[in-house]
Structure 1
Amino acid sequence: MSATRAGRTRVTAALAGALCLLLLLTGCISIPRSGPIGQIDVDSSEPGQVRIDPDGPVTGASQDQIVRGFLAAGTGSASNFAVARSFLTDDLAASWEPLESVWVLKSGHSLDSINSEVTSDSQTVSLTLPVQAHIDSTRVYREAAADSERTVKFTLRQVNGEWRISKMPAGIVVTPANFSSMFQAHSLYYYTPDFKYAVPDTRWYLRSGSAGRELVADLLAGPADYLKGAVVPAVGSGRGKLGVGSLSVSDGDAAVELSGDPQLSARDAERLAKTVALSLQSMPSVRDVTVTGAGMPEDVDTANLPNTEVEVPGRPVVLQDGRLVELGGDRTSSLPLPAPKKGAGNPARDYTGRVFAYLAAGERELHRMTVGGRKDTVVVRGSSLAAPSFDRFGWLYTAESDTGRLKVVGPDGEMKTLKAGFLSKRTVTAVRVSRDGSRLVVLSTGSKADSRLDYIGIVRDSDQAPRELSGDAPLSAGESFSDLRDVSWAGTDTLVALAALESGGDLQPYTLSSSGMFAARGSVSEGTSISAGTDLRSMRIGTRAGDVYSYQGGAWQKLVGIKSYEPAFPG
């Protein structure tokens, strides 16, 4: 049996920012009991994890009391939710799966405040629950649309003269405060198809001693649906089934023994060990990881874990006096580019720093031009085109409103159309490709002016050209906001956005992650655009008046003497 040891993951500034969003919920910063599930008070003190010991059923309890007692007992996970099971008949108690579905009540609501209906035969109790999030059987956190409700029906019968629940849906219902106490987010890591970067796939786990084993098992089972085909596991299908034989953690050292005999090559074994180590080190209790079993060869090297961060080269571009110029520090410098068409907006720059794009003609034209070139070429025409974005392979993305399709232009002018049914009848305002090229975030609004962010994977062909999206079930975010105006990537799994929580409220900068968490990042008046490079320190906000603000030391500073608009980092 061979062993591989991975050193502690080198966490870059951007990855630290992304992980911090996860850690904010789970220990170092508390979530308020009121307000949206994801809102984080960045000045709060650590509350610590609270053990909840609910009460069991009392003699003579009514049907409604049994149902409410069961729901309340779902917050106590001790002994595999033993107290909650005591409200069920023996058959149901043996088959009930509490973590198959976790529903989070809307903030400001409690189980006591929700009315119930009891049928005339006194055997069915129904409750309509206002919900704001759902954790599915794969442990993926999915925000619910505004004003979402879920009706739950419980069938009861008497056992030895006492009412017990005999039929109901799987899962539990928790308040936001109980959710933050019971669950913790961790990242599974998969590779981009070229194996150049590791991509996080965030899942939520019950705080328990089995979380690490469950995490590795989920990693081996493959990525979440919204990432399938866009990221790849270390070991592909057809190599034999892998499992978790055992996992133990002692003084920060995790020892993982894999089961199965998948006939791993040295390259696959190394990739597998690295993703196991990187994924487990998203747990604060783990520093080093040893992987054995499953035919691991003796010479597997995990000294250097997969790169999780793409460096964003070059400076942001801004619009100034009718031209595209480069913003460096507190000054701008000219670029050898043709003057853009009058009314230009929504600039974008590729990762080489040599190719630029912008919208013009009332957002009906997408233009592209190259440093040193004389041509300003219209590459896409359409109605209400979305703010564009480049991927690291040079492909340029936009969308036309209400069509349910994305339009993508290659470096050589090749045009592709990607179906995105989830955007049908929605106005797409921005398309942003993740730095590693594996994911899209799309900002759109519906007929009721409801703003939403959708995460979806990009499936590529062997030449790294985008082929399709990962199905039509994206991971939605930002449902807690009444308005979302602009968005940018700021690292591996961190977004920055201009948003307002209340209807008619001022737009302010926020950070968001695919875990469902978000945090306010100070205040800037009249912001209209936001962009970032590798991390939060690179954030820039442009205002309606032409002011540009940078984020330094946790505060916003106006760049004096610069009158320019819409700063945009490469990508």
Structure 2
Amino acid sequence: MSANRRRRRLSLLVLALCSSVLLAACSSIPTSSPVGHIEADSGDDGASNARIPDGPAPGDSIGEIVRGFLAAGSGTGNNFSVAKSFLTDAEAQEWNPQESVSLLSNDTDLDSLNIGVTSDQKTLTISPPVVGLVDSSGVYTSTKPGTQSTLEFSLRQENGEWRISSAPDGLLISQAEFQTIFLNYSLEFFTSDYSYLVPDSRWFLRSSSTPTAIINELLSGPASYLSGAVITAIPDGAKLSDSNVVRIENGIAHISLEAQDPAPTDREKGLIRQQIASTLKVIPSISDIELTIGGQVVSASLQPKTDSSVQVDGPPVVLANNSLSRVSGTTVAKVENSPDLKGAGASDPAVSFDDSLYVYLQDDGKKLMRFKTDTGAATAIYEGKRLVRPSLDRFNTAWTGEKENKGALTAIGRDGQDYTVAADFLSGRELVDLDVSRDGTRIAVLSSQKSEPDRIDVVGVPRDKAGNPSSGVSDAPIEVGSNFDEIKDISWAGSTSLVALAAMEGDGTQPFRIGVTGPSEQLGEVPDGDRIAAGEDSRSILVTNSSGGLYSYNSNAWQKLVDVAAKDPSYPG
């Protein structure tokens, strides 16, 4: 790279840093990001953070061309025109930047990556470390430590300058750039009984065409890990009509679907409108929608009122003073008529949403007990060898499984009937923990295997009309939090995130929030944490440690509850 060009990039970086200090003192600019200038007159909410990277300079070597092309992936304006300027005219027509996204860690600089070049200077390979991947449908997955993506480029000279004649589809950008130019949205589907909406979290490029991209993915159906666990009111093959775009005028999103055969009933029309309206409502520029099917307007009056999530109203349950207890503020109170658990080898309580029943393990994990508050009676409902912490779903079905697992989970219905639920991905692994999402459609499963990092799988739970689990979970689990080496404990934290006590390579175990299809974020530090639980969001997290300390997460800080000794926290559901 020429000295003049380096000086020009340095001056632009200084300008960007100064602007950042003046405009947003709480923001930071990652030093490994490509340097460019900022487009100030864009109508996009994220324009203040959007970079327009530099194009190729005369005389650039093939290494500078490839690195420049990769750096230009963060410039999305005018359909990635800057990145395409590094390509031959023919390749610029073929390259698809939105086929996938590979994420570099923020501390990785493109200039530090080794490049392999053939002797004829026409083929170049580069193997960057990757911490996350996003597929063409917007589904994010984290990658295991040490994962590399090998990229191969072919180059030739065009008008006397090196240009890329063959480039892999997709983008390679840093984590910070990703969260600047991509936005997270949830496609909304229904539980099998239509009682709740279930979010399918995806990532979309920030642009004026985002609403269209979102609706096209909604029409395509849920992600594979939700297969059989959620339903859609939208018929197979449904498509946008006319110009195949979602138009937004004066805050109204106009969605026109082609005619359907057979024509949907009024109830079905209302459910379709509910899915679309709920999916688009988080876009600030949209205040309402107008939906037409086959040219006929679907009235808003047909749209049902479906709850967007299951509310967690009650306080968490813990074991304290040899009793089932509830945490209230900074104190712990015994559950009325709780059995005396002294010497019972009790652990891992869970409580129903309506506070009508509790389950817990006894005899050091050999028995699953159920305590009904109306009768005050505690009875064994299942026996095993070494069971993991139970989880209660909204149907009051208790879920557990054997630590030494043969590829199955166990669910005990409210009527006492037990169900063996096949989970082939667990076969031969040690089951560590599980937790059912509060809408009952997904189960998060933590497992381990010798010489491998611990693993979280999130998978859909198909059910029959009565809400009972079917004979197996979905056969396409999504792996979550793959960037961790060790994971002690997990809990749902709302509809699209988990919290976990986890450790990355060389670090101690600390609390993290992990998107089911998104990156992870450390939530401060708690000494010697061993169990974690959360309610609807990250403001309700509890962590206990091995000495009985109980910590609550409030205002982005951990507070130890004084004079409280408790273990095994769990929120309702």
Both proteins in one fold, TM over 0.5: yes
Partner of 1:498: 501
Q: Deviations over 1:239-290 (max 9, x none)?
A: x623254422345332323333351211111111121111112223323222
- Alignment partner of 1:107 is 2:110: no
Question: What is the CA–CA distance in structure 2 between the aligned matches of 1:112 and 1:469, rounded to whole Å?
Answer: 48
Q: How far has the Cα of 1:203 moved from its partner?
A: 1.1
Residue by residue over 1:79-112, the C-alpha shift from the partner in whole angstroms, topping out at 9 and shown as x without a partner, is 2222322333343322221111111113311221
Q: Which of 509, 526, 532 in structure 2 is aligned with 1:530?
A: 532
Residues in 2 aligned to 1:338 and 1:250: alpha-carbon distance in whole angstroms:
62
Alignment of 1:45-194 (within 5 A): 49-194=48-193
Give the direction of change, closer, same or farther, for the CA distance of 1:362–1:199 in structure 2 (3 Å limit): same
- Letter matched to residue 455 of structure 2: R
Q: Does residue 388 of structure 2 align to residue 389 of structure 1?
A: no
TM-score (norm 1): 0.84
User: 2: CA distance between counterparts of 1:28 and 1:518?
Assistant: 24
Q: What is the DSSP-based 3-state SS (H/G/I as helix, E as strand, rest coil) of the residue aligned with 1:282?
A: coil
1:364 is displaced (CA, Å) by 4.2
Letter in 2 for 1:175: S
Measure, in 2, the Cα distance between the counterparts of 1:495 and 1:29.
26
Render the CA deviation track for 1:375-409: whole Å, top value 9, x for unaligned.
Answer: 531514134x3222111112221233443332222
Offset, 1:561: 4.1
Cα distance in 2 between the residues matched to 1:163 and 1:552? 55
Cα distance 1:523–1:109, how it changes in 2: closer, same or farther (>3 A)? closer
Shift in Å, 1:135? 0.6
CA distance 1:55–1:554, shift in 2 (3 Å): closer
1:336-355 alpha-carbon deviations (Å, 9 max, x no partner): 35444622111122334233
Instruction: Tell me, in whole angstroms, the C-alpha distance in 2 between the residues paired with 1:488 and 1:309.
Output: 16
Secondary structure at the residue paired with 1:428?
strand
71-80 vs 494-503, greater mean Cα deviation: 494-503
Residue matched to 2:479 = 476
Quote the offset at 1:557 in angstroms: 4.0
* Residue from 418, 421, 425 that aligns with 1:422: 425
User: Partner of 2:285 in structure 1?
Assistant: 285
3-state SS in 2 of match to 1:98: coil
- d(CA) in 1 for partners of 2:264, 2:444: 35
CA–CA distance in 1 between the matches of 2:198 and 2:26? 25
User: Quick check: 1:311–1:534 contact (8 Å CA) kept in 2?
Assistant: yes
Q: Is the CA contact 2:370–2:380 (under 8 Å) kept in the aligned structure 1?
A: yes
Does the aligned pair in 2 maintain the 1:243–1:260 contact within 8 Å? no
Unaligned runs of 5+ in 1: 1-26, 36-45
Determine if contact 1:320/1:563 at 8 Å carries over to the other structure.
yes
Say whether the 8 Å CA contact 1:314–1:570 is kept in structure 2. Answer: yes
* Residues 1:322 and 2:322 are matched in the alignment: yes
**Which residue does 2:437 correspond to in 1?**
434
* Aligned-partner SS, 1:205: strand
1:211 to partner: Cα distance = 0.5
Moved more, 116-125 or 49-58: 49-58
Q: CA deviation at 1:504?
A: 4.4
Q: 2:40 matched to which residue of 1?
A: none
Note the residue ranges of structure 2 that are not aligned, 5 or more in a row. 1-23, 33-44
Q: Percent identity?
A: 37
Q: Secondary structure at the match of 2:90?
A: helix
TM superposition shift of 1:535: 4.0
Q: CA deviation at 1:132?
A: 0.4
2:448 paired residue number: 445
User: Is the CA contact (8 Å cut-off) linking 2:152 and 2:167 kept in structure 1?
Assistant: yes
Match of 2:368 among 366, 369, 386: 366
Contact 2:410/2:419 (8 A) holds in 1: yes
Aligned residue type for 1:285: S
Query: Deviation per CA, 1:478-519, whole angstroms, max 9, x where unpaired?
Result: 234444322222322233333345634253x33333242444
Q: Give the C-alpha shift of residue 522 in structure 1.
A: 4.5
Q: Deviations over 1:447-485 (max 9, x none)?
A: 246233322111112222112556443233323444432
Quote the Cα distance in structure 2 between the aligned partners of 1:556 and 1:302.
46
Contact 2:91–2:166 (Cα < 8 Å) also in 1: yes
Q: Which residue identity lines up with residue 93 of structure 2 in the other structure? A: A
Q: For residues 28 and 279 of structure 1, what CA distance do their matches in structure 2 show?
A: 33
Q: Which residue of 2 aligns with 1:268?
A: 268
Q: For residues 318-361 of structure 1, what are the alpha-carbon distances to aligned partners after superposition, in whole Å with 9 as ceiling and x for unaligned? A: 21233323444424134335444622111122334233222344
In structure 2, relative to structure 1, the CA distance for the partners of 1:73 and 1:494 (3 Å cut) is closer
Change (3 A) 1:241 1:356: same
Paired residues for 1:392-403 under 5 Å: 392-401=394-403, 402-403=405-406
Alignment correspondent of 1:548: 550
1:71/1:172 contact within 8 Å kept = yes
Aligned residues: 531
1:129 aligns to what SS in structure 2? coil
* Residue of structure 1 aligned with 2:408, choices 401, 405, 423: 405
Q: Contact between 2:271 and 2:303, CA under 8 Å: does it hold in 1?
A: no
Q: 1:252 to 1:127 in 2, by over 3 A?
A: same
Q: 1:98 is matched by which residue type in structure 2?
A: P
Q: CA contact under 8 A between 1:98 and 1:172: conserved in structure 2? A: yes
Q: State how far apart, in whole Å, the 2-side matches of 1:281 and 1:136 are.
A: 24
Question: Does structure 1 residue 243 correspond to structure 2 residue 236?
Answer: no
Question: Of the two structures, which has the highest relative contact order with CA contacts closer than 8 Å and spacing of 6 or more?
Answer: 1
* 1:3 corresponds to: none
User: How far apart, CA to CA, are the structure 2 residues paired with 1:55 and 1:78?
Assistant: 12
Cα deviation, residue 525, structure 1:
3.4
- Match in the other structure for 1:332: 333
Return the letter of the residue paired with 1:147: G
Normalized per residue, the structure richer in strand is 1
1:156 Cα shift? 2.9
Q: Find the residue that maps to 1:336 and give its secondary structure.
A: coil
Cα drift, residue 188 of structure 1: 1.0
User: Structure 2 CA distance, aligned partners of 1:525 and 1:296?
Assistant: 61
Partner of 1:219: 218
Larger CA deviation: 317-326 vs 218-227: 317-326
Partner of residue 311, structure 1: 311
- Contact in 2 for aligned 1:442/1:454 (Cα 8 Å): yes
Note the alpha carbon deviations across 1:171-204, whole angstroms, 9 max, x for none: 1211222222221111111111111111111111
Aligned CA-pair RMSD: 3.0
The aligned amino acid for 2:294 is: A
Q: Measure, in 1, the Cα distance between the counterparts of 2:186 and 2:220.
A: 14
The 1:521–1:368 alpha-carbon spacing in structure 2 relative to 1, beyond 3 Å, is: same
Report the Cα distance in structure 1 between the residues aligned to 2:59 and 2:412, rounded to whole angstroms.
69
Q: CA deviation at 1:121?
A: 3.6
> Shift of residue 136 of structure 1?
0.3
Q: Following TM superposition, by how much is the alpha carbon of 1:67 offset from its aligned partner in structure 2, in angstroms?
A: 2.2
Deviation at 1:419, TM superposition (A): 3.1
Deviates more, 1:291-300 or 1:258-267: 291-300
1:390 touches 1:433 (CA, 8 Å); kept in 2?
yes
